[in-house]
Structure 1
Amino acid sequence: MTETLIGIDIGGTGIKGGIVDPDQGILLAGPVQVPTPQPATPTAVAEAVAQVVDSFTHLPGAPDRHAPIGMAFPGIIRHGVVRSAANVDDGWLETDIITFLGDRLGRRVEVINDADAAGLAESRYGAGAGITGTILVITLGTGIGSAFIFDGQLVPNTELGHLEVDGCDAETIASAVARERHGLPWVEYSGVLQRYFSHVEFLFSPELFIVGGGISQRADEFLPQLSLRTPVVPARLLNDAGIIGAALHGHRTHLSAPTWTEVR
């Protein structure tokens, strides 16, 4: 059996984590959640993350204290450096987040974009399990997040929520928050999503769309209204996807990486 891992999902309003079995893609403990500090500066967030991690340290089945921790972060992560910071403080920009959080926790940290983490989890354990070719996971929330998976491999940091639709940045008209802001009934919102998903479908011809975010729990209100060549289904892992995907990323990266002490 693969050793358990800790996964952490850093969000704009909450930081949550759990002990994950990466063989089965399930939480063995948690989720434990604390509020995201406001403002969400690097130092304040690091302290909140440490609080969540510490809550698992002495639990039965907890990973070894030197095991890596996988983390999902709401921004573009390139070579371990934060290139965008959605819903957290701008002080994160250009921060070497792997080194910064690793120094605070005293152990190896692997960081991945939050939508990419959810995509990895859904493609491995959720609605995309067993499907080859291109899977696109689209999360509808405050904005629109996206994950591009090809034959089980992640193409990181896609930002498909910023495609232009109806002359606008897509997430300003097609996100869940945009629906609420504009007071759109489900039928009208489905029409906006139709134009968005048709555009993405034309560009990438995926085998499957998986729709995540909190709004996916009401998928029966809008998914049946979409007319696409590509099957489109709701996400299965819901709020645990980011934690599970972060842990999976940490596990995959750790297999070929030196230990934290070796890179110091």
Structure 2
Amino acid sequence: MAFGVGGIGLFAALAGERIPASAIPMMGIVAVTLFADLLIMRVVDDIRDSDYDRIANPQRPVASGAVAHRDLSTLCALCVTVIVVANLSFPGGLFIIIVQLLYTGVLTALGQRFPATRGDNLVLNVLVGFPVQLLLYVYLLASFGNIRDDAPTAVVGGLGILILTLCAGQVEFGKKLARRPAVGERSYTNSLGYRTTLLLTIGTGPLAAALFAIAAPVSPVAKAFVALPAICVAGIGIKYLSHKDNQWPAAVSALGLLVTLVAFAVVGAVG
């Protein structure tokens, strides 16, 4: 819910618009679609990572055998049905999601043939997987265009997608950041180095907030409201660096993203 409303709120704020009350039905479509779509992505990730999880995270449902692949296939089919039904009145959005799901399917099939694309090479994995996220952002942009068809979308869309990508970066890099990764652990520290990964974890949020502050025609109070979560995450990052802890607290990055999305939603609604 926060992802959908926050993303649309971001586009509205960048365009100098407000989300009207008449957009509530469209928001409902977006919320249902994103919930079903992200559930499919979670299932796909668990299946792709099952070999690794059997060693590193044996308690995971797929790795432990607690959930059968047949049950997951049924769940995915149900989610696809929900997505199609929810977007019958929004064919442009439905097309974007179908393209995203097809790309995910191709990526999963390639992972069976080329193990390097399954996640062991994190940099390659994030590059080939980025279109999955990108198409979700495009879906949100299309949803905003459906709500405010008179609003500019080219520059607003490009800048909004960049900001959302940066916001998501703090979670992506933070959940795989360790000062001293264990043997065989999937960590960006192994491929990018500890300092670079830490910088990406605590720096992408403030950079996104800075871009928003520069581009969005909103009040200084609104800009400060959006920037606050990123500043807090960066502050915790400085504390983490000084205390010499090994594992970055990934929940901090996730909470920072959630609060930022809520801030986008509020600013997009009230201006």
Give the TM-score taking structure 2 as reference length: 0.30
Larger radius of gyration between Structure 1 and Structure 2: 2
Going by fraction, where is helix more abundant, 1 or 2? 2
- Higher relative CO (CA 8 A, sep ≥ 6), structure 1 or 2? 2
